[in-house]
Amino acid sequence: MYEYRANFHQHTTRSDGAETHQTVILAGLEAGLEVMVFTDHNTHVAGQEGWHQNLLVLMGIEVNDTSQVPEHSHYLCLGVDRDLNEYAARPQQLINAVNDIGGAGFIAHPFERPAPLFNEGEIPWKHWETSGYTGLEIWNYMSEFKSFLGSKLQAVRAAWFPEYFITGPFPETLARWDKLTQAGQRVAAIGGADAHGQTYSMGPLSRTIFPYAYLFGAVRTHLLTEAPLSQNLTEAKGQVLDALRRGHCFVAYDLAGDTTGFRFTAANADEQPVFATADAGPKAMQGDEISLGHLQMIELNITTPLRAEIRLLKDGQVAASGRGQSLSYIASEPGVYRVECYRVFKTRWRGWIFSNPIYVRA
């Protein structure tokens, strides 16, 4: 198993970001990113893809319908080869176009809260009637930050000490995700910086509150692949998109502790002894489907690189929890199982890891 720290949501001067591609790439290297995808609004920029030392740079776009006020329903189109603006007002066709190209598509910041003091309205997803998207961006750092700009005093505190404010995905986003997966859909989750390098100004106060390198070390997605990423760009791009489509990844808040090495796996009795020996490979990993098998039971295993409060959820409800670096659970019912881990960081419990689900089928 190979693991790569990735960011799939970032802007440059080609839309509303503050820095050029080259500067943002350097910030990614500084933050230890290994995969990044540029997602400027409605703009595909050619000629940027490739390996930069150990960092794989790919292209995407964030498409939004500019005729709307505010411009809600943003869609991250990863691994596409052109801008798809002709579909901006037709979300289902946009989703289909990304799939036809062989990309991966994610609903950006599905739920939002307004920040009227800063003239920022809510820009959630408003097209839940659509289908075929790869998944949801369950945790968007800048979107969560925006939710703390309710008063001037709180905004100043949040801008200077964001670590004391950021706590995890919005509950309504997680609830929507659970609802979608319980309805039978496989929906992958990613988390992203939505980095712009913005400066927030308020009276005499002005500050570049979120330099790119800072955000790239905060909320990110860890990608899991069966083989190392190829040095060949086309092959590596295929590996990244394949892992995303299969949900072979988890959402991590690495500021609260390095999440590298987190694993969530499942084995049934048909392919693998249920009570597997330590060196037996997993049958399924997060994002995968697995059947209960002839014994009608699955062993789910969770390991974390640091001590944490580990919660295993079945269909959105906590089925087991514990504190430590591992949790095992025998599941005898079909359902959608996923993991949330929490750690104390800056004086309080904060979301640390949100896995993709393992879909246990009858």
Residues that bind Zn ion (CB under 5 A): 62, 74, 108, 194
Three-state SS for 165-197 is CCCCCCHHHHHHHHHHHHCCCCCEEEEECCECC
Q: Which is nearer to Zn ion, 105 or 335 (CB)?
A: 105
In terms of Cβ atoms closer than 10 Å to its own Cβ (0-12, 13-18, 19+), residue 187 is buried
Q: Kindly state the smallest distance separating residue 195's Cβ from Zn ion, in Å.
A: 8
Start-to-end CA distance of the chain, whole Å, equals 27
Q: How far apart are CA 357 and CA 96, in angstroms?
A: 24
Q: Kindly state the smallest distance separating residue 83's Cβ from Zn ion, in Å.
A: 15
Q: Which is nearer to Zn ion, 74 or 338 (CB)?
A: 74
**Using an 8 Å Cβ cutoff, are 7 and 193 in contact?**
yes
Q: Which is nearer to Zn ion, 37 or 188 (CB)?
A: 37
Q: Kindly state the smallest distance separating residue 230's Cβ from Zn ion, in Å.
A: 28
Q: How far apart are CA 177 and CA 160, in angstroms?
A: 32
Q: Kindly state the smallest distance separating residue 64's Cβ from Zn ion, in Å.
A: 7
Q: Kindly state the smallest distance separating residue 322's Cβ from Zn ion, in Å.
A: 36
Q: Which is nearer to Zn ion, 21 or 74 (CB)?
A: 74
Q: For Zn ion, which residue has the nearest CB?
A: 74
Q: Kindly state the smallest distance separating residue 65's Cβ from Zn ion, in Å.
A: 12
Q: Give me the residues paired with residue 168 across strands.
A: none
Q: Which helix (H) or strand (E) element contains residue 145?
A: helix 141-146
Q: Give me the residues paired with residue 340 across strands.
A: 311, 354
Q: Which is nearer to Zn ion, 76 or 358 (CB)?
A: 76
| DSSP reduced 3-state for 326 | strand
Q: Which is nearer to Zn ion, 146 or 222 (CB)?
A: 146
